[in-house]
Structure 1
Amino acid sequence: MPPAQPLTPQPATPHLPTRCPQPPAESGGAALPAFTARAASVGGSPVREILALTERPGVISFAGGLPAPELFDAEGLRAAYDAAFAASAARALQYSTTEGAPELREAVAARATARGLATHPDDVLITTGSQQALSLVTATLVGPGDVVLVENPTYLAALQCFGLAGARVVPVPCDEEGLLPDALEELVARERPKLLYTVPTFQNPTGRTLPAARRAAVAEIAFRLGLWLVEDDPYGELRYEGADVPWVAAHPGAADRTALLGSFSKIMAPGLRLGWLRAPAALRRAAVVTKQAADLHTSTVDQLAAAHYLRSSDLDAHVARVRTAYGERRDALLAGLGEALPAGSTWNRPEGGMFIWARLPEGRDATALLKTAVAHDVAFVPGAPFYATTPDPRTLRLSFTTHTPAEIAEGLHRLSAAAAATA
């Protein structure tokens, strides 16, 4: 027998996820009943798969929209948890109401009001991350065969959510500033959709921001033609330049038909899994019932700790520090893209958020580039999975928040080598 040869570690090959497999039959037993059609038809998240690949030591990842862990206010949050237990350990560890802890709802309402949208605590439902808020609204409004309109491209997990609901997802044409109101009006009249899902501020994946005039037009179309609006705003407080733009929900005609989703993940810590839903009374009540069937209520201790933190710490000052750091990281990524990407590539300059959207020149494919990039210990997310229908294979999303400017520079050097290797 020949001597065993040493194994050379090979970088994992990124791939787009397969559809959910059917349950296997146990040996000697009868075949199990099949999964539902919706579970079998919705693919996993390539972003999550790429994140798993990039957990290898030394990989510089522009893939995930992850906050920088060194910027978490760990001491302030630790003190907030201590305060929650000191105030009442029995309450912190007990079941709570589905709507959420009153003091956290009050804090959310106060912050929303300060941002220009008058909000009462009773308008707010606390959720387990804003992703749950989207799931609750979808479960309440969308059934199999219903039409949902989305930006093109759009947030990947929203496509998964609507796919699980059995919706028919129709993309709204967009330009570099976001969705086109004329195209939206035409689609609403023709398709009679249940809702429009939009991330109008520092959109995921493109980083673009919908101008105020277009937001007003969206609100007017929804009012005139009868349309629910789901406005997702996880990034709105991460602005590095330019002026704030009012929420769509704040425009005339939108108040009784907009579900506004917010999150503490990007400004406090994603591990808390705390989000919120501001919605008209009837929709909010239906979402409460749906949440009761999902998890009864969001973690009591996390809610109370967050409420203590908001009372005792200056979250706005913390967010200002985060903005400064992320703005520097955005600039570092922008400064090096010209040398890192193939000649003829284009990209945008977002005023905030976490992402830069790029397009490779004609004939190049971002998924093929990713395979080589991972071998060079750098990663990004191909843009194709973010499209509801026909994707643009040349597009890619790059996140700049997780790494320091020096690490970003090294990552771009590696990306340049990968791009040269695939030329």
Structure 2
Amino acid sequence: MTVAEVDVVPAPPLAARARAVGGSAVRDILAVTARPEVINFAGGLPAPELFDVDGIADAYRAVLTEAPERALQYSTTEGEPGLRGALAGRMSVRGLPTEADDVLVTTGSQQALSLLATVLVEPGDTVLVESPCYLAALQAFGFAGARVVAVPGDGDGLDPAALEELVVRERPKLLYTVPTFQNPTGRTLPAARRAAIASVAARRGLWIVEDDPYGELRFEGERVPWIATYPGAEDRTVLLGSFSKVMAPGLRLGWLRAPGALRRACAVAKQAADLHTPTVNQLAAARYLADRDLDAHVRRVAGVYRERRDAMLAGLADALPEGSAWSRPEGGMFLWARLPSSYDTTELLARVVRQDVAYVPGAPFYAGEPDRSTLRLCFVTQTPEEIGEGLRRLGAGFGLLGD
């Protein structure tokens, strides 16, 4: 008897969370706009020509020459002690006293988000986020089965008074925030609001997940301390960091700093996910930090990014429809624009891509009702000349200039 002659029962369906959570709009756009002639303002990719290739290669060469048996072996789940110590030192000199044992190395800070969602969120729990919010965070919490609620805010970020009202009403598990050079808006939360958020978390019982992938990429203005440093936040804030934007994203190296019980729970979840982050990458990063001046490298990168931000700001008035408004970030990688309400940037994207330029529509970044007139532009991957040409094409796509 052949398979065709018997009843075949379908395989079981995917888990409900896999059916409910969509893919990344940014990744989908990048796949469509991968042609080399496209000037792509859609991606969140650091400029590859600024990678310290020689320094990174030297670090890998050193660890593979001096300790290949260690570099190519399994490691501890928590991470290589040398790297954890170096990360702790960098946080300590920036105002947050940290020991190596406070740090868990992760495979990119995106894994840190997934681990936190796994150990903190039960299906149906409420998670508070900014509006708009980093898209991959919405995915991570969505996969955990969270009910994601946006906190109202303004051009400076989320409103602490609105946060407190939502905490009282919704009894959430955590607040997720990117307070410095936020993705997607580029805005930075002022110090007074950071202190107020710490106070709300302490008085109302709330975890704070403070994601800081862009904070070192400051072009101007004064650094604002992490929320984790403010009174009331010490025992309830998880600080996430990453080498992706300051060294190279291909290393897939991130970390979280968290109170002991939560950090240990994340380590157990990481054991189930990938055992540990690749040893050779960790050792190479630690060697790089020991042999090179990462801060000097970041200053060079930030100087170039500032020129590119300025080039984009200089051309936006001619590229966007009259009545548009946009942010002026003091650092980071992104600029946020809002067109007049009659424009739908999702519908307009196909027309714009025909001009060989791309952006990310704002709608996917919202946990609640989206503002469909918004869009995100990444200004770091192209030269000032390419940015100028890309904005010309953008204006043509919006029908402002001749095709």
Q: Taking structure 1 as the reference length, what is the TM-score of the superposition? A: 0.93
Are 1:191 and 2:166 an aligned pair?
no
Report how far residue 323 of structure 1 moved. Answer: 0.4
SS state of the match for residue 188, structure 2? coil
Report how far residue 30 of structure 1 moved. Answer: 2.0
1:133: which partner in 2? 112
Report how far residue 199 of structure 1 moved. Answer: 0.4
Report how far residue 389 of structure 1 moved. Answer: 1.1
Name the CA distance, whole Å, in 1 between partners of 2:277 and 2:337: 37
SS state of the match for residue 420, structure 1? coil
Q: For the Cα contact (< 8 Å) 1:372–1:421, is it kept in 2?
A: no
Superposed, which structure 2 residues align to 1:342-361 within 5 Å? 342-361=321-340
1:39: which partner in 2? 18
Letter in 1 for 2:160: P
Are 1:281 and 2:260 an aligned pair?
yes
Superposed, which structure 2 residues align to 1:6-405 within 5 Å? 29-405=8-384
SS state of the match for residue 352, structure 1? coil
Give CA deviations for 1:309-348 in whole Å, capped at 9, x if unaligned.
0000110110010000000000000100000011111101
Letter in 1 for 2:133: T
Please, which runs of 5 or more residues in structure 2 have no aligned partner? 1-5
SS state of the match for residue 67, structure 2? helix
Query: What is the number of residues matched between the two proteins?
Result: 397
Please, which runs of 5 or more residues in structure 1 have no aligned partner? 1-26
RMSD: 1.2
Q: For the Cα contact (< 8 Å) 1:369–1:422, is it kept in 2?
A: no
Report how far residue 29 of structure 1 moved. Answer: 3.5
Q: For the Cα contact (< 8 Å) 2:321–2:400, is it kept in 1?
A: no
Give CA deviations for 1:211-232 in whole Å, capped at 9, x if unaligned.
0000000000000110000000
Letter in 1 for 2:359: F
Change (3 A) 1:190 1:94: same
Letter in 2 for 1:267: V
Name the CA distance, whole Å, in 1 between partners of 2:142 and 2:302: 34
Report how far residue 362 of structure 1 moved. Answer: 2.3
Letter in 1 for 2:363: A
Give CA deviations for 1:387-421 in whole Å, capped at 9, x if unaligned.
00100100000000100000000100100110117
Report how far residue 356 of structure 1 moved. Answer: 0.5
Letter in 1 for 2:179: P
Letter in 2 for 1:223: A
Q: Taking structure 2 as the reference length, what is the TM-score of the superposition? A: 0.97
Tell me which moved more, 46-55 or 291-300.
46-55
Letter in 2 for 1:91: R
